[in-house]
Amino acid sequence: MSRHNQIRNFSIIAHIDHGKSTLADRLIELTGGLSKREMEDQVLDTLELERERGITIKAQSVCLNYRARDGQDYMLNLIDTPGHVDFTYEVSRSLAACEGALLVVDAAQGVEAQTLANVYLALEQDLEILPVLNKVDLPSADPARVAAEIESVVGLDASQAVQISAKTGFGVEEVLEQIVAKVPPPSGDTAAPLQALVYDAWFDAYLGVMVMVRVVNGTVRIGDTIRFMAAGKAFEVATLGKFTPNKMEVDALTVGEVGFLSAAIKIIHDAQVGDTLTMKANPAKAPLSGYAPVKPMVFSGLYPADGEAFDNLKSGLEKLALNDAALSYELESSVALGFGFRCRFLGLLHMEIVQERLERELDISLITTAPTVVYQVHLKNGEAVMVENPNLLPQATRIEHIAEPYIKGRIITPTEYVGGIMKICLDRRGEQKGIQYLDENRVMLEYEFPLNEIILDFYDKLKSSTRGYGSFDYDHIGFRKGDLVKLDVLINGEPVDALSLIVPRDKAPHRGRELVSKLRRHIHRQLFEVVIQAAIGSKIVARETVSAMRKNVTAKCYGGDITRKRKLLEKQKAGKKRMKQIGTVEVPQEAFMAVLRLGE
Amino acid sequence: MATIEALYCHLPFCHTICPFCAFAVHGNRPALHRPYLDALKREIALRATEYEGARQPIEALYFGGGTPSTLALEAVQELLDWIAAHYGIGQAAEVAFEVNPEDATPAYLRGLKSAGINRISLGLQSLDSATLAALGRNHDAVQGRRALEALRGSGHENYNVDLLYGAPSVSERAFEEDLEHMAAARPPHLSLYGLDLEEGTLFARNGTVREWMARHGPRQASQFLYASEFLTAQGYRHYEVSNYCLPGREGRQNLVVWRGGNYLGFGTGAHSHRDGTRWHNERHLRIYQRRLEKDEPPVAYQEELSGQKMANEGIMLALRQADGLDIPQWERRYGFSWAEGQSEIAERLRQEGKAHWNGAQLALTPQGFLLADEITTQLMLA
């Protein structure tokens, strides 16, 4: 019997705030992975930003040594998963590295949409799913009701569900016992050619790209020349190791084991999540299944507010992309905003994270153009082009039709908010596909939407209209034909490319009016009148005027105090420099953001 | 070194401190006068030796405040003699003196005239009781009228009246009446100031006033235009944003300042300019005096202007005057060239009636004066 019988690879599936990180901390503590002193709250979330937002962006892993009640020592590998829909693909790869998963559900709140989505992913990977009811110490906890909900909604047997309080540690040891007893040990052939799944990668300033792998077949040792099967590049293994959660180097990783690897890999795109590692000399016949290249869903222009910060932004993006294989970008120029980058993101959260990191790490202020989805534009000559920037839309006369990406969304909410949600969904061109009562208080709605309608603020809207109780998740379901047009904004007759949007034709006049009135509120009075218009082609659909400034003069310029006055005007002048100049019109940064907040 | 063209003398004492005033002022106590006058005289002498070039005829001398009329006539005479002993005052020089209505007795005004003062500036502010009360002035409308009468009968041909409009809680009509009074009295020079909330003043700290100003501030624009139209019809020349005069009666002291000339200012907080160097004095009375006791220049701040800053000042000051900006002259004087973009703005201003523009001269109209700061920032070199 090989040693992989003693290994259990598992991950934790939970809705945000249902206690995943706390449970992970308790597991580490209980198995002695860290001393009390080393325990920092939520050790798995290493990035500062992750900790602030309370979410996990990059997957982390930790190897726990546990002596079970049967007297045997087990190696339990906890493989963490990112907790957001933007990172669904990364989640699926992390799950693919496991044989089991803990389904942690808050015993007071019940199953949420995001939990469901990840459970479905786990079921696709054929994982053994162990329900865990957390927060049973809360007065509002109702384990019986939530167990019944798991059975009816998820379709899992919840009769053996462990009742725990990750906060107090109650029941946590029982979780470890269930992992040992119920999660199957990895199967695999140590003699077969190496096959290892890459489920995470990041950039380390000293070692180059670090890769997290799960060995499925064979063994990898220091000094081996390995090859990434999809990317095609070969490297010599420099270090191997595990996180316990402290970094511990090892000489080899074999069947069923999980660990990190470095091999002087300089570019993160050479080590993509989902790729299969094999030996260069004795390669596996085929890669592991399930690899898919990164598929960006949201696109936006990033520009420095001050043109002089361009080089700074460029090097900042290069640095970020080293660590973020999902981020890609290319040079873009806008008449209104100058030079910047068109960036591709997995989703809106991913976009916000990138933006925040850039602003924080580079100390520059950014102008983000309205995020857009990718459109499939079918031309009259039979060609189809993908358009990720409204300004690159071919001329209307050449277009046969435009198709846009759709999603299938699941919303779980207390029943009293159903009416409000239906209205929001209808406004967002949602089509109801199903409604299921989970119990007498909670309901699950299924809708199909154009992705474009939800990338902006749908989730915020949903949260606020359900007092925070509603949850939402979605899957992509492909492109569908739509009746879409390009909406342009003109300031004093000049089109402002950075403000163009692609919108449904029947909504265009309304959106135009909204946009123009938003802009009017952001563009302050200036020396000359400013006319703001929205247009579809040459047809003006909305118009507003910012009347000219009436008075800006200080009465007094006597007593010979010229310095103070000049300084005051120099300050005013410097203030203008921070705004974007469109013709003679000064447009503040916020105006470009205004388009992001239509419909408020 | 270029000639010193004007001198300014600051007398900081006031009977009461006005809630809107941001100048260097001090409550009036006669015991403070002597030490201050001594310090002032030291500074006057100190600067005279420092600037040999100053021994050229000075064309304007101005006593401002504060309230210069808190001084006894003997003190005025003493200062004038001292200045004349250290600087050459031109034969035709304008010697101006600010007087508050409560001090404007026939005797005081006559005394000033025989001491050599040839221009009076009367801090009238208004002839409307409500306005005066709102401004916290310690003279009332009757005293104001009496002061104006005394001034007209004093033999001073050249004088200015200060009016302030936009006082909190006061109707627009009060200002129109003030203007009608002026049309009847026909002072040779009028300064009209819309009330501004200046940092550090009592008004600026008063929430009620701030709120009133925020709500009614915009109506100052129409009051400004009304005054301009009204006084122009009365034969006045609106020659600077806040100043009007009958032909030939421009305030010469101010013209020196506004044309970028050289001037020396003496006294607390006084400002000076010489060949691109600007400085101002300590505002605090005791500190000012202590510095001079040690024969130190009482300078609190000094800056050497870069060519660009001087050129920007040139634009800023010229656009506040009806004579406007002479582009070729500006280019010669500061060594910058006027850009295409600047002309485009000028042309647009002309089309909208905010400026006269012929490609070489840019002069704002009253509508343009209202936007002088904004226009300046658009035209300034960055």
Q: How confident is the model at residue B365 (pLDDT cuts 50, 70, 90)?
A: very high
pLDDT of residue B54 exceeding 80, the answer is no
pLDDT, averaged across chain A: 87
Q: Looking at the partner chain, which of A526, A563, A570 has a beta carbon nearest the beta carbon of B303? A: A563
> How distant is the Cα of B307 from the closest Cα of chain A, in angstroms?
14
A559 to B378: CB separation less than 8 angstroms, yes or no: no
Q: Checking DSSP bridges between strand B189-194 and strand A61-67, what pairing results, if any?
A: unpaired
pLDDT digits (tens, 9 = 90+) for B221-245: 999 999 999 999 999 999 999 999 9
CA angle A363/A366/A371 to nearest 5° reads 140
| Nearest CB to A553; choose among B271, B349, B372 | B372
**Range in A322-331, A585-594, B296-305 with the lowest mean pLDDT:** A585-594
Q: Which of B23, B221, B382 sits opposite A577 (nearest CB)?
A: B382
Strongest mean pLDDT among A12-26, A139-153, A549-563: A139-153
Q: In chain B, which residue's Cα lies nearest the Cα of A575?
A: B377
Cα separation, A526 vs A585, in Å, equals 8
- Residue A56 has what pLDDT? 43
Q: What is the pLDDT of residue A276?
A: 95
Whether the model pTM is above 0.90: no
Q: Which residue of A has its CA nearest to B352?
A: A528
Which residue reads 């932004």 in tokens? A313
Window from A24-33, A421-430, B373-382 with minimum mean pLDDT:
A24-33
- Look at residue A37 in the predicted model and tell me its pLDDT: 56
Q: Scanning every residue of chain B, which has its alpha carbon at the shortest distance from the alpha carbon of A584?
A: B345
| pLDDT attached to residue A53 | 45
The partner residues of A163 in beta bridges, in order of sequence, read A133
Query: In this complex, do B373 and A552 lie within 8 Å of one another by their Cβ atoms?
Result: yes
Mean pLDDT of A188-216: 90
- The DSSP result for B158-188, as a single string, is SEEEEEEE--TT--HHHHHHHHHHHHHH--S
B313 in A contact zone (CB under 8 Å)? yes
Chain A contacts to B (CB-CB under 8 A): 526-528, 548-563, 565-566, 568-570, 572-573, 576-577, 584
Most confident of A197-201, A310-314, A392-396, B178-182: B178-182
Tokens 């660009």 belong to which residue?
Answer: B308
CB < 8 Å from A in window 167-196 of B = 193-196
Share of chain A above pLDDT 70, in %: 92
Q: Does B258 touch chain A (CB under 8 A)?
A: yes
Residues A63-85 pLDDT 10s: 899 999 999 999 999 998 776 66
Determine contact: B345 vs chain A, CB below 8 A. Answer: yes
Q: What is the pLDDT, as a whole number, of residue A24?
A: 87
Which of B280, B374, B380 is closest, CB to CB, to A549? B374
Is the predicted ipTM greater than 0.90, yes or no?
Answer: no
Q: Is A282 exposed, middle or buried (0-12, 13-18, 19+ CB in 10 A)?
A: exposed
Which pLDDT score, from 0 to 100, does residue A459 have?
A: 80
Return the biggest CA–CA distance within chain A. Answer: 98
Task: Give the number of other Cβ atoms within 10 Å of residue B302's Cβ.
Answer: 12
Secondary structure E strands in chain B: 6-11, 13-14, 26-27, 58-65, 89-99, 119-125, 159-165, 189-194, 237-240, 243-245, 263-266, 271-274, 277-281, 299-304, 325-326, 355-357, 361-364
Cβ within 8 Å of A, B 96-115: none
Where do the domains of chain B lie, and which CATH numbers do they carry? 6-257 (3.80.30.20), 322-379 (no CATH)
Q: Which one of A561, A569, A584 has the shortest CB-CB distance to B376?
A: A569
Hunting for tokens 């302050």 — which residue is that?
A: A524
B283-340, pLDDT tens digit by residue? 999 999 999 999 999 999 999 999 999 999 999 999 999 999 999 999 999 999 999 9
Q: Is the pLDDT of residue A33 over 70?
A: no
Beta-carbon separation of A551 and B348 below 8 A? no
3 state DSSP class of B231: helix
Taking an 8 Å cut-off on Cβ atoms, the answer to whether A572 and B377 are in contact is: yes
Q: Which residue does chain B place closest to A572, by CA atoms?
A: B377
Cα–Cα dist A310/A328, whole Å = 17
What length does chain B have?
382
Asked if B380 lies within 8 A of A577 by C-beta distance, the reply is no
Mutating which of B199, B216, B371, B375 best tests the A interface, going by the most A Cβ atoms within 10 A?
A: B371
Does the pLDDT value for residue A440 go beyond 90? Answer: no
> Is the CB of A563 less than 8 angstroms away from the CB of B263?
no
Instruction: Please return the burial class of A246, using the count of CB atoms within 10 Å of its CB with bins 0-12, 13-18 and 19+.
Output: exposed
Chain B positions touching A560 (Cβ under 8 A) are 8, 257, 263, 265, 270-273
One-character DSSP codes across A486-514: EEEEEETTEE-GGG-EEEEGGGHHHHHHH
Q: Please write the tens of the pLDDT for every residue from A163-173.
A: 999 999 999 99
Nearest-CB residue to A527 (from B254, B309, B371): B371
- DSSP 8-state class, residue A202: E
CA dist A8 and A1 (Å) reads: 15
